[in-house]
Structure 1
């Protein structure tokens, strides 16, 4: 039986299968126009980006410029209920300064009509600050 919950989980599983190979296109293509990304916590990285264009131009593009290798995500668990899908994963990449940026994440997605509507990211923000420096300018 293919319920909306199962379809939402399958969407994220397919996105993370591509991310494991360093392919971010399925993630980008699944973002709704009003997609929002929030990094939780109280660090320099903790804030929200609203709208697909803002997420891509103000967060992802500047962040990817800090990486010397393709960013790869290795999903460890998917938990889905209704329009919420939680993904626990590890990321790995080498930065342009030669440091490894290998963080652990818990992402809480909201999915509707086959599109990513929002994500709240929980990560080691201290590691992000130490290895990546400050976030892209707001």
Structure 2
């Protein structure tokens, strides 16, 4: 049996390889995904299509390749999993995008129902926009 922790690790390992499909497959249809702050990518996106159109497509359009995650720690309790990670990427302008992440995911029925990304928002703006 796959745990929520294992699933979150798996989808971000696949994202690191440039394959976002496992992440999309793991999202509940009515997922709520929040990026903190006031960056062009910040906000709460509700539903898979809004996540794709409002977050994932704009993010990928600003990157020269995949974001490569290095996992530091996972903390799981009940339906909640916290992922502490570092990530490296390069923006389309050639600037490094090396951010630190704290992602809080809440699962329901084996799918990600809510996600909140705590990141260096100033870096998001300066490196990607």
TM-score, length of structure 1 as denominator length:
0.85
What does residue range 15-30 of structure 1 map to in structure 2 within 5 Å? 15-30=11-26
8 Å contact kept, 1:109–1:117: yes
Aligned to 1:82: 78
8 Å contact kept, 2:103–2:117: yes
Q: How many angstroms apart in 1 are the aligned matches of 2:42 and 2:57?
A: 17
Paired positions, count:
128
Aligned to 1:52: 48
8 Å contact kept, 2:18–2:65: no
C-alpha offsets along residues 16-71 of structure 1, whole Å, 9 cap, x if unaligned? Answer: 22233232221111011101111224x33442111111001111111101111222
8 Å contact kept, 2:27–2:111: yes
Q: Which has the higher strand share?
A: 2
Q: Which runs of 5+ in 1 are unaligned?
A: 134-138
**Deviation of the 1:11 alpha carbon:** 1.1
Question: RMSD of the TM alignment (CA)?
Answer: 1.5
User: What SS is found at the alignment partner of 2:4?
Assistant: helix
C-alpha offsets along residues 81-124 of structure 1, whole Å, 9 cap, x if unaligned? Answer: 00000001111111110111110000000011110101011000
8 Å contact kept, 2:16–2:66: no
Deviation beyond 3 Å, 4+ runs, structure 1? none
Aligned to 2:120: 124
Q: How many angstroms apart in 2 are the aligned matches of 1:69 and 1:11?
A: 23
Aligned to 1:111: 107
Q: How many angstroms apart in 2 are the aligned matches of 1:49 and 1:31?
A: 12
Aligned to 2:68: 72
Moved more, 13-22 or 69-78: 13-22
